[in-house]
Amino acid sequence: MMPDVRAVVAIGLQGQFGLDGRLPWEGNREKAFVEDVERFFKLTRGHVIIMGPRTFVSVPEWAFKDRDFVEIRSSEPPAEVLARFPDRVVFIGGGPPVYEAYAPFIRHWDVNRLPYKGPADRWFDPRWLLKSPSGAVTV
């Protein structure tokens, strides 16, 4: 049995996604950015989040308490990784190559567009949404 596979991502106004291994707007204390982080941790509480090695090392220590972060590698077939969590909700946690590979399994996308206009070295690709099964919801 496959788990319930979901994604919660935040993007800048032009699709900015990452910068130097972090969120491009990290440290911004404006309301929209603070609320986005709070919402991410609320939605993922009690669930599994799978992520590539670079995103994994960026997770703050305190976040491990309430959710199960799992580092995944490209040598692991996505279907086999997901089959390890049959009764769980699994969030795909990035980065871009991971969304690319896992998009066909993602049943719900939650995309929050933030008021950020600055630089990035990783970008959101809207084609990921089209690889997901029909019925996937985009916010």
Q: 76 Cβ partners below 8 Å, 6+ apart? A: none
Q: Does 93 bind ligand NAP (CB under 6 A)?
A: yes
Interface residue with ligand NAP, options 74, 86, 117, 118 (CB under 6 A): 74
CB 128 within 8 A of CB 25: no
Nearer residue to ligand NAP within complex by CB, 81 or 88: 81
Residue 6 CA to residue 29 CA, distance in Å, equals 27
Total site size for ligand NAP, rule CB under 6 A: 27
Contacts of 41 (CB under 8 A, 6+ apart): 63, 66, 67
Give the nearer residue to ligand NAP in terms of CB position, either 11 or 90: 11
Rule CB under 6 A: say whether 138 interacts with ligand NAP: no
CB-wise, 53 or 133, nearer to ligand NAP? 53
